[in-house]
Chains A and B, each alone.
Chain A
Amino acid sequence: MSDQPVIDVCDVSFAYGAAPVLEDVSFQVEQNELICIIGPNGGGKTTLVRLLLGLLRPDRGRIRVLGQSPERARQRVGYMPQHVGHDPHFPVTAMDIVLMGRLGRGGIRKTLGWYNRADRRAALEALDMVDMTAAARQTYATLSGGQRQRVLIARALCGQPALLLLDEPTANVDALGESRLMDILKRLSGQMSIVTVSHDLGLVSNLVQRVICVNRRVLIHPTSHITGQVFEDLYGTQRRIVEHGEVTPGRPGNG
């Protein structure tokens, strides 16, 4: 891989019909960077994610992901959606879900969607990376919000992505679950490029190197430069900023 940016968004605008959602958005994400996209609800975060995945096409401008068009790059992007639109009682185990990250194209086996031993091994490794090995055979319905989120991250990791795209990883997760997710992100950072999306300012810890603020337009801040003024501009109200020091340095693994 060359030094080209992992994500290259250039003068992108997008509108749903007449309603502009994003205007003249430009930013780049470098290799192995961990960044967070934040912004108010309705500010265009999800639209930006869908553009990066090639599920939407920009009205103007150009997007390159891993040096390719978003559609072509998909196979190398690990995506964790905010919602998994289905019924919560779906009869499916954590392992079943993680294996879905191995689906793809090419060859008869892939076309039929049959998994082999390598696929199963990759799925177990991905579950191990999010500390969910013990729950591999548990049904999705019986998992807590945080555990479900970790299973979905494992599914994204299972395809051995170069870029991990997490949409609202801390939604429906309690405080303990959130700190676990942070630990996982910390562990993964440096191994791959990671983009998380959040409306939750708490995610902007010293873990994240840069913050991309989206509210129709985009502003980019190194984490160290985040001030009350930034949030005021973004959300329109004064918010209290919590200084995120190293909360639990050298935390021993997790249970």
Chain B
Amino acid sequence: MVEFLEALLDPDVPLVRYALVAGLLASVAFGVVGCYVVTRRISYIAAAVSHCVLGGIGAGLYLQTVVGFAWCDPLYGAVAAALLAAIAIGLISLYARQREDTVISAIWTIGMAVGLLFLYKTPGYAEPMVYLFGDILYLTKHDLWLIAGLDVLIVVLALGLYNKFLAICFDEEFARLRGVRAEALYILLLCLTALCVVLMVRVVGIVMVIALLTLPAAMAGQLTRQLWQMMIAAVLLCMVFVTAGLALSFILDLPTGPVIVSLAAVGYLLAALANRLWRRA
């Protein structure tokens, strides 16, 4: 523990600090949006969107390294791919009459395939594992600014439209009858989810990010009576998992993403167990 705190305060080792700041910033968006994802029951769709992000990362890296667009950060590609996938998958889940799960699974894998092909064709350091499972070694100060900006955008939109999101998560048909543009809000919610994925690409990676979006929210849902309370609890839980996971991975010399997600999973299981015992008692 002491070594972790020393590393945090060491001016020569910014990485741990960057990872903690990125994780804590992202936790706010994750807690808020995660509650919508859990109550609206779209974690499968959110998972599909998150995997598509690899396509954008691959394209971004390819453009930057091979084509020579120096400005093209892979995270920009991630943002573009995330939004594109969210809109495409959102429209399909709204309007495809049948077999929407088949189409969504197809897009999910196509996104990953495209990403892997781009990564293969990009010489140098493009190691897919870095993006699939996260690696804080690649976190830069520039990433932090991007994460902070996206974080503010996500949280402002998600909380600004709180009543409308609550209405479509609880009873979409009634909301529509009241004149709420439920379809547009649904697509927006998927876009916000997609941007959340980008926030945590560096720390947790795109494969495991869904666990961090849904598990804290699901735990929070067991404790709270209103959606905003659930959000606060989810944000705090997410922060705890990120911080503890980072510390533990540093002390035990393990990859950060899997440790954070494993902690969230253990927390969720314990909470579910406690909840069950509590009800029986």
Please give the residue numbers on chain A whose beta carbons come within 8 Å of chain B beta carbons, in ascending order: 53, 55, 74-75, 77, 79, 81, 84-87, 89-93, 96-97, 99-101, 103-105, 112-115, 139, 155, 159
Task: Please list 9 pairs of residues, one from A and one from B, whose beta carbons are closer than 8 Å in the complex, sorted by A's number.
Answer: A77-B177, A84-B174, A85-B172, A89-B221, A91-B221, A100-B170, A103-B167, A104-B178, A113-B180
Are the CB atoms of B225 and A86 closer together than 8 Å?
no
Q: How far is the CA of A204 from the CA of B161 in the complex (A)?
A: 42
Are the CB atoms of B171 and A112 closer together than 8 Å?
no
Q: How far is the CA of A126 from the CA of B161 in the complex (A)?
A: 24
Are the CB atoms of B226 and A93 closer together than 8 Å?
yes
Q: How far is the CA of A139 from the CA of B170 in the complex (A)?
A: 13
Q: How far is the CA of A79 from the CA of B173 in the complex (A)?
A: 10
Are the CB atoms of A159 and B178 closer together than 8 Å?
yes
- Given that A75-B179, A104-B178 are contacting pairs, would A114 and B171 also be in contact in the complex, using a CB cutoff of 8 Å? no
Q: Name the one of B160, B172, B226 contacting A112, with C-beta atoms under 8 angstroms.
A: B160
Q: How far apart are B40's CB and chain A's nearest CB, in angstroms?
A: 9
Are the CB atoms of B171 and A79 closer together than 8 Å?
no
Q: How far apart are A207's CB and chain B's nearest CB, in angstroms?
A: 25
User: Which residue from chain B places its CB closest to the CB of A74 in the assembled complex?
Assistant: B177
Q: How far is the CA of A92 from the CA of B162 in the complex (A)?
A: 13
Are the CB atoms of B178 and A92 closer together than 8 Å?
no
Q: How far apart are B168's CB and chain A's nearest CB, in angstroms?
A: 10
Q: How far is the CA of A72 from the CA of B169 in the complex (A)?
A: 24
Please give the residue numbers on chain B whose beta carbons come within 8 Å of chain A beta carbons, in ascending order: 39, 41, 160-164, 166-167, 169-175, 177-180, 221, 224-227, 229-230
- Given that A87-B39, A87-B41, A91-B230 are contacting pairs, would A97 and B225 also be in contact in the complex, using a CB cutoff of 8 Å? no
User: Hey, which chain B residues are within 8 Å of A113, CB to CB?
Assistant: 161-164, 167, 180
Are the CB atoms of A100 and B177 closer together than 8 Å?
no
Q: How far apart are A116's CB and chain B's nearest CB, in angstroms?
A: 11
Are the CB atoms of A53 and B221 closer together than 8 Å?
no
Q: How far apart are A85's CB and chain B's nearest CB, in angstroms?
A: 7
Q: How far is the CA of A93 from the CA of B164 in the complex (A)?
A: 15
Q: How far apart are A96's CB and chain B's nearest CB, in angstroms?
A: 7
Q: Name the one of B169, B178, B221, B229 contacting A103, with C-beta atoms under 8 angstroms.
A: B178
User: Hey, which chain A residues are within 8 Å of B174, CB to CB?
Assistant: 79, 81, 84, 100, 155
- Given that A85-B171, A91-B225 are contacting pairs, would A114 and B178 also be in contact in the complex, using a CB cutoff of 8 Å? no
Q: How far apart are B174's CB and chain A's nearest CB, in angstroms?
A: 6
Are the CB atoms of A114 and B224 closer together than 8 Å?
no
B164, B169, B172 — most chain A CB neighbours (10 Å): B164
Are the CB atoms of A81 and B173 closer together than 8 Å?
yes
What are the 6 A-B residue pairs with the smallest beta carbon separation, nearest first?
A113-B164, A113-B163, A105-B179, A103-B178, A100-B167, A139-B225
User: Which residue from chain A places its CB closest to the CB of B35 in the assembled complex?
Assistant: A91
User: Hey, which chain B residues are within 8 Å of A91, CB to CB?
Assistant: 39, 221, 224-227, 229-230
Are the CB atoms of A81 and B179 closer together than 8 Å?
no
Q: How far apart are A123's CB and chain B's nearest CB, in angstroms?
A: 12
Are the CB atoms of A101 and B39 closer together than 8 Å?
no
User: Hey, which chain A residues are within 8 Å of B221, CB to CB?
Assistant: 89, 91
User: Hey, which chain B residues are within 8 Å of A84, CB to CB?
Assistant: 170-171, 174
User: Hey, which chain B residues are within 8 Å of A86, CB to CB?
Assistant: 39, 169-171
B39, B166, B175 — most chain A CB neighbours (10 Å): B166
Are the CB atoms of B227 and A92 closer together than 8 Å?
yes
Are the CB atoms of B178 and A100 closer together than 8 Å?
yes
Q: How far apart are B180's CB and chain A's nearest CB, in angstroms?
A: 5
User: Hey, which chain A residues are within 8 Å of B39, CB to CB?
Assistant: 86-87, 90-91
- Given that A103-B164, A115-B163 are contacting pairs, would A96 and B226 also be in contact in the complex, using a CB cutoff of 8 Å? yes
